Amino acid sequence: MRLTILGCYAATPRTLTNPTSQVLEIKNHLFLIDCGEGTQVQLRKNKVKFSRIEHIFISHLHGDHFFGLPGLISTFRLLGREKELHIHGPKGIKEAILLLLKLGDSWTNYPLFFHELTEKEPQLVYEDETVTVTTIPLDHRVYTNGFLFREKPGDRKLNVEAMAKYKVDKAYFRNIKKGKDVTLDDGTVVANDQLTLDPPEPKSYAFCSDTAYNPEIVSQISKVDALYHESTFLESEAKFSLKTKHATAKEAASIAQQADVGALVLGHYSTRYKSIELFKKEAEEIFPNVFLGDDGKVFEF
């Protein structure tokens, strides 16, 4: 599971910082999460292959989280894209994008699908054989969702020594990986757990930006491998977080601690601060395994 931060600063783009956007590579998927202004430039800088993006997840309709989407959709058209593109986001995103395409007479030459979200409870929005994506209802000034990405358990691993010991024919390998027992030629039944090893633990990633401090999400994100949680302010400016429905680094760490996550990645920093190291220092007072998101930074989980 590989996370590339394209942008993770609040509000407006600057010469050296970009608004929210990131790419999650999981089980051969390349999911784009949020699409702030300048996202396609950041995709190029980080050498992300545009053609591999088939699903885009938009948390909410504030500009610093989706103003880059119209441009990216248009660029896909100019690049001659043919495969489908699916946009998952709040109700209203279809109207906003299609109006721009209409006014510019720039209809896509590829299938473009919108999956608009309105539910205030967790909702499964994507599933295939290897991964699921579920919304995480957040507490912000407008309707907002985070997204929980989970790998499905993989096939069991063949125990090479056991296979040789019982002289199991290769024709049975596929079923054995799926968890089935084997009946040998002499009628002996060999249990699957004698022939296989446990697969790697499925990975999970929770994206939570933007939101006020919201303990209600703790049970849903419990024990995820990695949590990205907004930390717009430090505790010294907590009064602003209450007004704007954002969170502090301390509050993000509290959520991580309560959910017992593997790692906390901070982001969505207000640009009022001279150093983002201040966010890490504050969060580590509560939760030990803290990482600072930053534009162009890559995390392997």
**pLDDT over threshold 90, residue 30:** yes
- Per-residue confidence at 171, pLDDT binned at 50, 70, 90? confident
**Amino acid sitting at position 291:** F
Q: Tokens representing 11?
A: 């509000």
**How many other C-beta atoms are found inside a 10 Å radius of the C-beta of residue 42?**
23
Give the torsion sign (CA, 281, 32, 121, 90). Answer: positive
Query: How many whole angstroms separate alpha carbon 145 and alpha carbon 135?
Result: 6
**pLDDT over threshold 90, residue 154:** no
What's the pLDDT score for residue 298?
A: 98
- Tell me the average pLDDT across 266-277: 96
Buried b (16+ CB within 10 A) or exposed e, 146-185: bbbbbbeeeebeebeebbeeeebeeebeeebbeeeebeee
What's the pLDDT score for residue 199?
A: 86
**pLDDT over threshold 90, residue 150:** yes
Per-domain boundaries in the chain: 2-154+200-300, 157-197
Residues 268/276, Cβ–Cβ less than 8 Å:
no
pLDDT digit string, tens, across residues 85-136: 999 999 999 999 999 999 999 999 999 999 999 999 999 999 999 999 999 9
Q: Which of the two residues, 144 and 175, has the higher pLDDT score?
A: 144
Query: How many whole angstroms separate alpha carbon 267 and alpha carbon 214?
Result: 16
* Residue 295 is labelled as binding a ligand: no
Strand partners, 22: 5, 33
* Residue 65 is labelled as binding a ligand: yes
- Tell me the average pLDDT across 270-291: 97
* Residue 268 is labelled as binding a ligand: yes
- Per-residue confidence at 167, pLDDT binned at 50, 70, 90? confident
pLDDT digit string, tens, across residues 183-227: 988 888 989 999 899 888 999 999 999 999 999 999 999 999 999
- Cite the active site residues: 64
Q: Tokens representing 279?
A: 């966010």
What's the pLDDT score for residue 79?
A: 95
Query: How many whole angstroms separate alpha carbon 78 and alpha carbon 106?
Result: 10
* Residue 115 is labelled as binding a ligand: no
- Tell me the average pLDDT across 231-250: 97
What's the pLDDT score for residue 184?
A: 85
Cis amide prior to 225 (ω within 30 degrees): no
Mean of pLDDT over the chain:
96
pLDDT digit string, tens, across residues 48-71: 999 999 999 999 999 999 999 999
Total residue length of the chain: 301
What's the pLDDT score for residue 163?
A: 87
* Residue 210 is labelled as binding a ligand: yes
What's the pLDDT score for residue 107?
A: 94
pLDDT digit string, tens, across residues 244-263: 999 999 999 999 999 999 99
What's the pLDDT score for residue 185?
A: 84
What's the pLDDT score for residue 56?
A: 98
Q: Tokens representing 222?
A: 């419990």
Best CATH choice for the domain 2-154+200-300 from the list 3.60.15.10, 1.10.1740.10, 2.60.40.10, 3.90.245.10: 3.60.15.10
